[in-house]
Chain A
Amino acid sequence: MLAQAVETVQTPEVPWSLLWPFLFMAIGAVILVTLTSLAPILRERSFPAFYTAAMAVGSAVSLYWIWNRVEEAGGAIMVLDGAMSIDYFTLFIAAIISVSVFFSALFLDDYLRREGLDGPEWYVLVLLSASGGLMMAAAEDLIVTFLGLEILSIAVYVLAALHLRRTESQEAGFKYFVLGALSSAFFLYGIAMIYGATGSTRLGEIASALNQTNSRGLVPVEDSSMLLAGMALLLVGFGFKISAAPFHLWTPDVYEGAPTPIVGFMASAVKVAGFAGFARVFLSSFVTVGADWRPVVGAMAILSIIIGSFLAIKQTNVKRMLAYSSISHAGFILIGLYAAGSTDPGVATLGSRSVLFYLFAYAVMVCGSFGVATLVGQRGDGAHSLTDYVGLSSRRPILAGLLVVLLFAQAGIPFTSGFWAKFGVIEAAVRDERYELAAAAMIAAVVGAYLYLKVIVSMFLTDAAEEAEVDADASDDVAVAVGADGSIALAPAATVAIIGAVVATVLWGVLPDIGGDLLRQAATTFIR
């Protein structure tokens, strides 16, 4: 009888061939941990790093066939009984996350050896975290989104604390964990409220429940306040993950303390996944009630840009500085997301496109930037003060040159992909006639440029007087260069990765329309 009951349980059909990116990340991680446990020899000699890079490449390559399948199917394939959607958007995000994993693996390899840390668990956690990110991007069900979010986050909490000899690292991991748990609670509560209001956690069903509006312009769900509170709490949860103000307070502390390559991963893959989930949930389900949530997104955008740009200037620690700059980048992307929430399909497409391009460009350049920071950090991962960058141009001219390009890109200087990213976002805001957002973005871009130039200036400083000035600035800096012997080793893998990031940044800066068709296809995913 029990057997009979088991037989009657319906299990959804699993189209494995569409899930290759997930398999590479999730199963790949399991295989890696198994292999290295059984054969300890594999822990040596960069094997885990290249294994992880290979998984990332495999995942990215598999996207090509899946993209064709999706194209044949007309843009989206619902899998796992409608819990996940394999569509252009998912695939585009998967590509960015794969790139990020690839970069992180290359940076980690040298980093672990330099720090005398050991173990494939770093890579296993990176892969697992990435699989959670993919899940968030694809989730068509709030529960799945939450699952993805937790898989993503828990792995990163551990990664942040994994530098066992640095108390800052432990502190960062713990802080991130506590605050992350808090935000997860908000998020989960939000899901419950949405369920209560609409009777479903499926994005499609939520959307159809909201599809009609009554004469007051409100959705005829049983209890509007529950829906609104639910959306508010979801916003809080996503806002924390993407480190948008006012939920950004953890970012500088965690970025400063966590191991630098992991910060690169957090700033790229984790943020991209957060935005992917954010975009999917709000753009698939809540477009009809855009008037309710879009102003909050706009406010968060402006607040993030202002706080990110202005606070970054006061920093004397480059990692903290980059943390604030990532907050400001999140603000820019939120402007694009604001436009993407428009009911005008033209504006919405433009908004989505600007978000996707920004995510791609940003992920590449932030990976590269933290890659440079990894190398400059030296043994002990502590040399991140601005004074540690003084004279970098004469000590490591190539590294300084690469960082200049990456910082120019972050500042949005033309002929870098960062310019087109900012341009697209501002263009979307203008098309949406939100001139105040556009103006704020432009002013913040100017202020932000000051911050990046500050780093560049210190790299090219050799003058003793100027050095003294930076010293004075840095006097209240907490970071102390631990074991800095003044020489920066250029690890081959990391250098190649940084050069790759710079090349991509410049390539898309000069020719921003490479792969433009894919981008445009992905941008129409949520247009109904």
Chain B
Amino acid sequence: MLELAWLIPAAPLIGFALILLFGRVLGEPLAGWLGFGAMGVSFAATVAVFAGLVAEEHSERFFVQTLFEWVPAGNFTVNAGLLVDPLSITMCLFITGVGALIHLYSIGYMHGDPNFSKFFLYLNLFAAAMLVLVLGDNMLMTFLGWEGVGACSYFLISFWFTDPANASAGKKAFVTNRVGDFGFMLAMFLVFTQVGSIQYAEIISWAVEHFGDTAVAGTATAIVLLLLVAAAGKSAQLPLYVWLPDAMAGPTPVSALIHAATMVTSGVYLLTRMNPVLALADGWAVDAVAWVGALTALFAATVAVAQNDIKKVLAYSTVSQLGYLFLAVGVGAYVPAIFHMVTHAFFKALLFLGSGSVIHGLHDEQDMRKMGGLARFMPITSMTFIIGWLAIAGVPPFAGFWSKDEILLYAWNENKILWAIGLVTALLTAFYMTRQVILTFFGRTRFYDPTEQEIEAAFSQRLVNADAVTTQAEADLEAAHAAVEKAAGDIDKKTSAVEVAATKLNEAKEALAVVSAEDESHAKLAKALEKAEKGVPKASENLAKAQATVTDANAGVDSATEALAAAKSSYRALAATRSSLPMPDTHVTALSEAPELGDLSDDLPDSYRKRQEYSPHESPWTMTVPLVALAGAATVAGGLNLPFTKDLHFLEHWLETSLFGNEAKLAVGTSTKWGLAIVAIACAAVAIYGAFAVYLRGKMDPKVIEKVPFARAWYVDETYAKVAGGPGHKGFDLAALFDRSVIDGAVNGIATGARGVGGAFRSLQTGYVRNSALGIVIGSAGVVLWFLSRLWWS
């Protein structure tokens, strides 16, 4: 059975090759089924190897399968070999098991994606690399897997690379992991110079042999610290954790498989694999592991409390739980570390897949403020998610309780402060997970509420309308002014007309006075006079009329001015209400009432109306089956290592072969154990009750809890960005300058020099046979001369 070990990584690798060759032809969903099948074969092979290992004697469970000599380089040969022992097979079991389920899930989740087959291509390649990582019998093989999973992780984070945010998230993961990889390489070199081999078997026997030898403790300490750097990069610990929250840009199955269950645990695996070296190193190096873990756990838990993105909560939760694992390794609790790694793989994969199902059901909505009350739409997802929540919150008898309690027990055994940090973390974990469950599945369905943007849009529409009224009033006012002007012009005209009429009358009178009555023109003039007399009152009448028009026009101006002022003030009033706009749930607690939108709802954009017609739905069976399976595992996985009697310590007994007696010895009595467990349960209960009180009953404003520093992750990212953009940038510029002028200069110099030399030599190359022959003859003469010179030389 053990000989089947090669098949474990080979199966997904073959799957990868097949999808690479035929992926496009197979298309959806066949490519997905092929990937799933490969993982299934791998899982079956793992189970077979597991059975074979169980059948072996306890001390014989350490089996190296050498596949071929990989790097033959003089003294330094590296075999491509697989190391089968309880540790690696435990890892393989949950990697292939959870991996297969996530492949199945992805068939549903990636439905309709244009790059469907490519997704499974990467996923299978990832699985193969991950299995090489844990099965490799030397550090180089592990490093090969380490880089392989890294590469797949970057590809998959930026799987939807057309969005620049996703691409830059992948880049961030890549750059941050470089630091860790550097630590790994240095550790590997150091191991080679010290041990003369990078095979685990050799390293372990070297470390066991030198146990307690202070002469090599310094080297071992350095190795452990370098490994810590490596592990902190891959397993997202302080201060290198920043890539993991951003990695959530990838598809959710990727988050579940790579960024929760498997790849991110490889740092813990590496430290556990090297446990004899940790035992050999100075105590403070191992303490450093524990403190990095504890601080990361606490830090990430505080951040998770204030996140609103459903996946971000889980991402910080993962960072926090990984910190727990480091804490466990640091206090020598290797078995609880592996135990919690396994249970965490189950429940965190479950939670991620559940969140993926929610996101899928809500058409890519990730903001928990817009969820709520989904339990009635997605019964299976919500039930399984609740099981995952109970498991991670530490509620007995779900799996997380047992493994977390073990870690806390060992922490208490080692250092009470570490235990206290662990306990606070556990409390926060229970709190933020309860918060997440409430916000997602309980309370009012906020999915249909108008979003902030939609209300803003509606309000803006309204403002635009008010603005149009003002503009109209302004135009009216202008028209009124024009009318006044015109009327004033009329008055002038009429006044002059009156004057003209008066002049005419006078002239007529004078003319009549001069002319005698008997004159024949007298009658004519008298007629004119009569006419002029009539004209005067008429002109006066016209003038009065014009004066009335002016008065009217002035009144129009007044009213128009008034209307403009009214429009302006109403605009101002409207604009002033912007800040007090009835926003939907600016805070998650506003569960009681839908926002008072009033007549605004008429102006809401189409996206709002479209959403009203959509109903959240449960996911297809390919997605729910893995959820149910993982929920089952998350319920019962505690049975792997129940604390009640020695006989129930299955995992501890099983892993003994891989730990070489380096597991810390507990020095606490049974009553203390019970006491600690009760304290832990009490903490979980308090946290869950508190979260219910705050988020479901609204007893307290969540703002009190969700502090800005939490939400902004303690400004770590900003600080990094500032350093990298400010003083760091100058440093990079300097380095770039050095690169350009010195390094590139040297390279360009070589190229220029080479071209010059080439040109000089080329003149020898004429193509004439006689020149070639001459060359041969001269060369021969040189060679012969050398040989003959040996006669006298020696």
Contact = CB atoms under 8 A, between A and B. Distances in A.
B667 interface: no
B782 A246 contact: yes
Interface string B753-794: 011011101101101010111011111101110111011001
Interface in A123-146: none
A195 interface: no
A228 B757 contact: no
Nearest to B772: A249
Given A311-B758, A423-B73, A249 B787 contact: no
A296 B754 contact: no
A295 B775 contact: no
Interface string B60-86: 000000001111111000001000000
Nearest to A244: B779
B751 interface: yes
Contact of B754 (A217, A447, A513): A447
Contact of A446 (B750, B757, B758, B794): B750
Contact of A313 (B754, B780, B788, B794): B754
A18 interface: no
A295 B786 contact: yes
Nearest to B75: A431
A253 B772 contact: yes
Nearest to B69: A513
Given A247-B776, A350-B74, A450 B787 contact: no
A516 B72 contact: yes
A181 B750 CA distance: 38
Interface string B85-112: 0000000000000000000000000000
A225 B786 CA distance: 11
Nearest to B761: A311
A229 B755 contact: no
Contacts of A246: 775-776, 778-779, 782
A431 B74 contact: yes
A450 B754 contact: yes
Contacts of B772: 175, 179, 249-250, 253
Nearest to A448: B754
Interface stretch (A86-94, A233-241, A267-275, A380-388): A233-241
Contacts of A313: 751, 754-755, 758
Interface residues of B, number: 39
A178 B73 contact: no
Interface string B389-413: 0000000000000000000000000
A252 interface: yes
Given A224-B791, A225-B788, A423-B73, A514 B68 contact: yes
Interface residues of A, number: 53
Contacts of A118: none
B74 A427 contact: yes
Given A231-B787, A292-B790, A310-B761, A236 B776 contact: yes
A182 B765 contact: no
Contacts of A232: 780, 783-784, 786-788
Nearest to B777: A182
A401 B497 CA distance: 99
B72 to A, nearest CB: 5
B217 to A, nearest CB: 33
Interface in B714-769: 750-751, 754-755, 757-759, 761-762, 764-765, 767, 769
Nearest to A253: B767
A165 interface: no
A350 B68 CA distance: 19
A267 to B, nearest CB: 18
Interface string A177-201: 0110011001000000000000000
A489 interface: no
A512 interface: yes
Nearest to A252: B765
A236 B776 CA distance: 8
Given A179-B773, A179-B776, A233-B780, A296 B786 contact: yes
Contacts of A229: 784, 787-788
A322 to B, nearest CB: 15
A296 B787 contact: yes
A309 B754 contact: yes
Contacts of A431: 74
Contacts of B755: 313-314
B791 A314 contact: no
A239 B71 CA distance: 32
Contacts of B778: 246
Given A186-B780, A235-B783, A236-B780, A228 B790 contact: yes
A263 interface: no
A124 to B, nearest CB: 27
A518 interface: no
A33 to B, nearest CB: 31
B782 A447 contact: no
A218 interface: yes
Interface in A287-338: 291-293, 295-296, 307, 309-314
A235 B73 CA distance: 30
Interface string A426-451: 01000100000000000100110010
A218 B794 CA distance: 8
B24 to A, nearest CB: 15
A266 B573 CA distance: 91
A431 B75 CA distance: 10
A292 B767 CA distance: 33
B68 A513 contact: yes
Nearest to B776: A247
Contacts of A447: 750-751, 754
A244 to B, nearest CB: 9
A182 B775 CA distance: 12
B110 to A, nearest CB: 28
Contacts of B784: 229, 232-233
A45 interface: no
Contacts of B69: 513, 516
A225 B791 contact: yes
Nearest to A239: B779
B174 to A, nearest CB: 19
A165 to B, nearest CB: 21
B72 A513 contact: yes
Contacts of B758: 310-314
Contacts of B773: 178-179, 182
Nearest to A353: B72
A528 interface: no
Given A175-B769, A228-B791, A513-B72, A183 B754 contact: no
B779 A311 contact: no
Contacts of A307: 761
A423 B80 CA distance: 19
A245 B775 CA distance: 10
A228 to B, nearest CB: 4
A512 B68 CA distance: 10
A310 B754 contact: yes
A252 B765 CA distance: 9
Contact of A314 (B750, B762, B790): B762
Contacts of A252: 765
A385 B765 CA distance: 18
Contacts of B776: 179, 182-183, 186, 236, 240, 246-247, 249
Contact of B794 (A178, A217, A314): A217
Given A229-B784, A235-B783, A450-B754, 15 more contacts: A182-B777, A186-B780, A233-B780, A233-B784, A249-B771, A253-B772, A296-B786, A311-B761, A311-B762, A313-B755, A314-B762, A427-B74, A446-B750, A450-B751, A513-B71
5 contacts: A179-B773, A228-B788, A245-B779, A246-B782, A313-B755
Interface of A: 174-175, 178-179, 182-183, 186, 216-218, 224-225, 228-229, 231-233, 235-236, 239-240, 245-247, 249-250, 252-253, 291-293, 295-296, 307, 309-314, 350, 423, 427, 431, 443, 446-447, 450, 511-514, 516
Query: When A and B form their complex, which 4 residue pairs have the shortest distance between CB atoms, in order from nearest?
Result: A246-B779, A314-B758, A228-B787, A249-B772
